[in-house]
Amino acid sequence: MRTNPETGIYSGYYRLVESYRNHSGRVCHRTLLNAGFLDALDATQRNLIQNILTEKAKNPNGLLFNLPMTDDPVVFKYVEAFYSQMVAEKRIDVPDQKLAQDASSNGKDLQLIDINSIRNKDVREIGAEWMSYQAMQQLQIGRFLTQQGWSTDDIRLAQSHIIARAVYPASELETARWMRENSSVCEITGYDIEKVTKDQLYRISKKLYAEKEALEQHLSMRTNELFDIEDKIMLYDLTNTYFEGRKEGSRLAKFGRSKEKRSDAKLVVLALVVNPQGFIKYSSVLQGNMADPNTLEGMINNLRVKTSSSAKKALVVIDAGIATDKNLAMIKDKGYDYLCVSRSSLKKYQLESGAQKVTVTDNKKQEIALCRVKSDRNTDYYLKVESPTKALKERSMNEQFRQRFEEGLKKIADSLGKKGGVKQEDKVYERIGRLKQKYPSIQRFFDIEIEVKEAVASKQKTKDAHSGSETKRIATSIKWTIKQGVDINGHSGVYFLRTSLEESPEAVIWQFYNVIREIESTFRVLKTDLDLRPIYHKNDDSTMAHLHLGLLAYWLVNTIRHQLKPHGINSGWREIVRTMNTQKAVTTLAQNQQDQVIMIRRCSEPNQNVRKLYDALKYKYAPFTKRKSVVHKSELENEQFIEIQAMALG
């Protein structure tokens, strides 16, 4: 019963239905005809039409006099129309075998199985691997390697290794074990899992590194096309990572200033140029003792060769440690603009004529005052930045350092009056020097005076010298005061930005500078999420291949995260991998009534959080829908994952 949309009357909607028994003996129904609303007919006419259609369907070649008798022209009109419709839609004259397999015709594969024989095996992680593979397809890495003449096997192995580095960063030995036992990455890429060994992974890493220059340029151009990026801003910075081991004979590993405070370990420096979206434009691996300012010119020269003509007037944003006057002049000579934090705080400056303070907010919604100033040093555009929050933090730090510095001086002074304390002038100065080295930011504000007297002490007799006396200089007291006219917190919360963009407004300069946080985020992902530190490889070739593989994995990571950010998904990479690993690939086995074992390989349904990531990326939910195979139970007698059970047939 339903409402007729033409008449608005609640009445019957009629169908002609056939019943039959399926191959399991179960009674089923199928619709032969949707007759619709028959309000114009009475019950007798409707029953007569049904009887005539039933007879015609059972005996399509039967004679007319075998049909129910009627002279009602309305009945004949409906019979002819309905019968023609059933013939046109192939609803009648269906073989019995077809009816018995009606479920199969609707996409169903019905089997009679023993539920006690159902087993699951070969459960593997597939979510993060499948997501990374689809990102790799976006970047067209496989297509690039094909154009370079790589074999299909090597391309698949390379794809597997890059994905493994992104999802499960580990040594080649551990990665090979993970690929064989835990992951579906080879199932996705098509590489033979039996061929996976640590030696194969070492080999393919070095082969990928041989393609570094061309592959890096391909990825740079591909992401620009994919996400419509113009590369108007370039960020340059360096980081270092340390080695475990002595690294004897290495030309890369050198002792230097470790950002992880590993002064006991040799280092290697990684220099990167990235755009504000976090994509790498150029990378270089340098010796561990390379000074930061000396690395810039080589990177700028390579960058000019590798970037498009539209990016050759880009803005280069660098850290204060690299921003020497020589480097800034070089950047300008190469045709770029620059933006950096001034290496030294300006002491003599004046406001530009008509300049006014502009208030902006940082990423934590805290107010910051900006004002354009001039310096006597040069004609560059300087922007004075005043942050009340930063000032409060720096004042607190200064007070803490001042207190600790004075406590250290007091300990040295107290030692002068103790028996056995350090009193010799040179030793006292040595202790003060170490204290100054420990607190370099605060010691420059103090004047320290030491009173010294000469004392005669007896000289001990040795084998080569006679006993006698000697004169020693002994410190008797130490006094310290804060220098006259100095305010320790005078510059707290104040720093200066220096740029060649003379015509840009203050707020625009501040916005440009803030993108430097993106390269800091890049280094965090590389060193923490992708496990680039420490390095265990013994020779330099393996070290370079290891770092390059990490950079390739970073391309996948950033491609995914860049597409998630517009949807408000800002999770870290490790959290994304954890979420995606809830999706598994599973093989299910069961025995049917023909003594056959049915094996079905499927991906688990993604949960709500996984679907949210797939939908944001516009990726497919699974690499395959279903893979089915049927084998006789005798072929599986030696397998340990299923118990073959007898099944009654009736």
Q: Is the pLDDT of residue 642 over 50?
A: no
The residue to which tokens 């004949």 are assigned? 76
Q: What is the mean pLDDT of the chain?
A: 85
Would you say the C-alpha torsion 174, 177, 178, 182 has a positive or negative sign? negative
Interval 483-539: pLDDT, tens: 888 888 888 888 888 888 888 888 888 888 888 888 888 888 988 888 888 888 888
Query: Do β-strands 233-242 and 315-318 pair in parallel, antiparallel, or remain unpaired?
Result: parallel
Contacts of 393 (CB under 8 A, 6+ apart): 493
Question: CA–CA separation, 585 vs 124, rounded Å?
Answer: 5
- Least trusted range by pLDDT, from 64-78, 156-170, 198-212: 64-78
Give me the amino acid identity at 633. K
The residue that leads in pLDDT, 627 or 569, is: 569
Output the DSSP codes for 174-211: HHHHHHHHTB-HHHHHT--GGG--HHHHHHHHHHHHHT
pLDDT at residue 644 in the model: 34
Question: CA–CA separation, 260 vs 524, rounded Å?
Answer: 12
Question: CA–CA separation, 340 vs 330, rounded Å?
Answer: 14
- Note whether 227 and 139 are within 8 A (CB): no
pTM over 0.85: no
pLDDT at residue 174 in the model: 95
Q: Is the pLDDT of residue 429 over 60?
A: yes
How large a percentage of the chain has pLDDT more than 70?
89
Question: CA–CA separation, 639 vs 642, rounded Å?
Answer: 7
Beta bridge partners of 446: 482
The residue that leads in pLDDT, 573 or 627, is: 573
pLDDT at residue 495 in the model: 87
Contacts of 413 (CB under 8 A, 6+ apart): 477, 478
Q: Is the pLDDT of residue 462 over 80?
A: no
Question: CA–CA separation, 469 vs 414, rounded Å?
Answer: 27
Neighbours of 115 (CB within 10 A): 7
Q: Is the pLDDT of residue 578 over 50?
A: yes
Q: Is the pLDDT of residue 346 over 60?
A: yes
Q: Phi and psi for 499 in degrees, rounded to 5?
A: -150, 160
Question: CA–CA separation, 642 vs 650, rounded Å?
Answer: 23
Contacts of 462 (CB under 8 A, 6+ apart): none
Neighbours of 424 (CB within 10 A): 14
pLDDT at residue 59 in the model: 73
pLDDT at residue 99 in the model: 47
Residue 598: name the closest of 589, 586, 607, 609 by CA.
589
Neighbours of 527 (CB within 10 A): 19
- Does residue 440 sit in helix, strand or coil? helix
pLDDT at residue 336 in the model: 87
Beta bridge partners of 273: 236, 282
In 334-475, which ranges are continuous DSSP H helix? Answer: 388-415, 425-438, 440-443
Q: What is the helix (H) or strand (E) element at residue 478, kind and residue range?
A: strand 468-482
